[in-house]
Structure 1
Amino acid sequence: MLDLELQFRHEVVTPFLRLKSRSLEHLCVQERISDVIVLAQEAATAAYHFPEAARGRAAKMVDPDAEFLRQKLSDVVDSRKHGRLSNAARQVALHAKLAYEFNDNVEFRYLGTKVLAENQRFGQFDLAETIEAFMHHICREFSITCTVAVPRPDEPFRKKITTYFTSAVVFAENVGLLTYKRQSDGALVLADPPYVEVEVIDASAPAVPIPPG
């Protein structure tokens, strides 16, 4: 069982934490093409294939809720692997968006970069949340003891949305935004602020000239 736990940590937890760590970096992202989407696809693939590798065969999850999550990941993984699927209802489109919470003073704080998956079969769902929930089911079904310390954002509220462009971004022409309002019960729900000001700061390193040969 120890070997299975180590395998789970290396093969599933590690790529998931890479995704979560990158999503906390306050950088612009191109909505349809970005490194965050690639990391999300890699984490989804790792989580989806783990039960099959652990059993040595393909099989449904025992818990119907876990199987529902596995089917979501199946559509994501197959869409990445095969490009266009013969079953159009399973075809998944992925979008990366910068998410912010705003308060009663219309101040904003960064929540992270979300990767949203969408298809006809399941509608729209947060891919990282789906992966994380499936990971917990894997631990229960295979009796794996594994506490995942998922990094969480901790940024102050600011008067405007401020994001950054660095040399790591490569390209970001169309940047999608999501805004949330916290309810009395602590839940965050999608909401439109009465107004918003967005500032993009170019923090990329200046190009180093190449000396003549």
Structure 2
Amino acid sequence: MIRLRGGSRSFQLGEQQVMGLDGLDLDIAAGDYMAVMGPSGSGKSTLLNILGLLDAPSAGEYWLQGEATATLSEARRAQLRSHLIGFVFQSYHLIARLTVLENIELPMVLAGIGAAQRHKRSSQLVARLGLGERIAHRPAELSGGQRQRVAIARAMVMQPALLLADEPTGNLDSQAGAEVFSLLEELNGEGLTLIVVTHDASLGARAQRQLHMRDGRIHSAAPQLALA
């Protein structure tokens, strides 16, 4: 599903050029579950932004679902982001003035999906994520765990093949964080490709694959060991 060859991303900070990514080679198959770990500044979020077509590499090649992304128009990149990729972030990025239901349905509204289909998809996700009693609430009236469930529902409502989660439990307590990870893993078990950036080694160890980054490079990569 994902193929990155020689992926690099440089940033200009004043007179200094900083390498956010430095020559990464990476293959991720459909249905994989990978945790990306490493210290702050190691390139984790930069990698996720490139995989999610929010940014482009300064050098190297990136193929998504067999499609070379280097020469894509911005319209095509936006189409792929909308229909193929879901995003979950640490800070939720919910719209404060919208209700839970309106936040979940927003990607479908922007994509021009009709009301009947919007209602069907959102109702299924609301029921699955235990948000039925909160659909008329606004984000300020929700707990952190509830806000993240809304964010996951919004990410899934376009039925993506790939979900990118950047520190999805960073603002949650341990119990709420474990519940969010369990939900993501349940979705992965149904065939969703899942890539999670996390600082929590115990949560990262739950993934099938772990990618450890340092200074924009892959420091180590390992499959998940069988648990006793």
* Alignment TM class, shorter chain as reference: under 0.3
TM-score, structure 1 normalization? 0.26
Higher relative contact order (CA 8 A, sep 6+): 2
Structure with higher strand content = 2
